[in-house]
Amino acid sequence: MDLDALRNKFIVDEDVLKSRLKSTIEKALKHCVVDRNGQVHVNATDLSARDRIMLILSARMIASQLEAGIAADVTVEEISKFTALPENQVRARSKDLINDKWVESTRPGVYAAIAFKVEKFLDSLADKNVDSGKRMDSGAKRKE
């Protein structure tokens, strides 16, 4: 393959990047939405604290690419407000996410999802039991 053909494969148009963003947004919409002020509203009720934090950071990363006024960075206080988790738990789980290379700390007490990890995280949520507002299958047994 000649250099021009390789360059055309490697350097992509914005349309390719936008279609990837569309797919990521569709995956995120199953679990949360972001309001115009940047507050993340999680509709998944049975996620672990770690997954809720990562979902919030992922949602803000996506929203920051759509709206200039929404920052990808999220403070401990904001995460605590969005999740109702105590700040010490937010810090501990965020540290776990940093150690696992899902998140970075942009400054003390402020976190952001690593952009290329967001879609992989959202894909992992699809495999978990998330309350997306759908009714249980008629064949499923309910806990009494």
| 19 in a structural domain | no
- The confidence band for 15, taking pLDDT boundaries of 50, 70 and 90, is low
Secondary structure, 3-state, the chain: CCHHHHHHHHCCCHHHHHHHHHHHHHHHHCCEEECCCCCEEECCCCCCHHHHHHHHHHHHHHHHHHCCCCCCCEEHHHHHHHHCCCHHHHHHHHHHHHHCCCEEEEECCEEEECHHHHHHHHHHHHCCCCCCCCCCCCCCCCCC
Mean per-residue pLDDT, 129-141: 39
Token output for 4 = 């021009």
| 119 in a structural domain | yes
Q: What is the extent of the structural domain holding 111?
A: 30-125
Residues 55-70: tens digit of each pLDDT: 999 999 999 999 999 9
Here the CATH number for the domain that contains residue 80 is 1.10.10.10
| 51 in a structural domain | yes
| 109 in a structural domain | yes
pLDDT of residue 16: 59
| 21 in a structural domain | no
Q: Domain total for the chain? A: 1
pLDDT of residue 127: 66
pTM: 0.79
| 23 in a structural domain | no
pLDDT of residue 8: 81
| 67 in a structural domain | yes
Between 18 and 26, where is the model more confident? 26
| 24 in a structural domain | no
Residues 112-121: tens digit of each pLDDT: 999 889 999 9
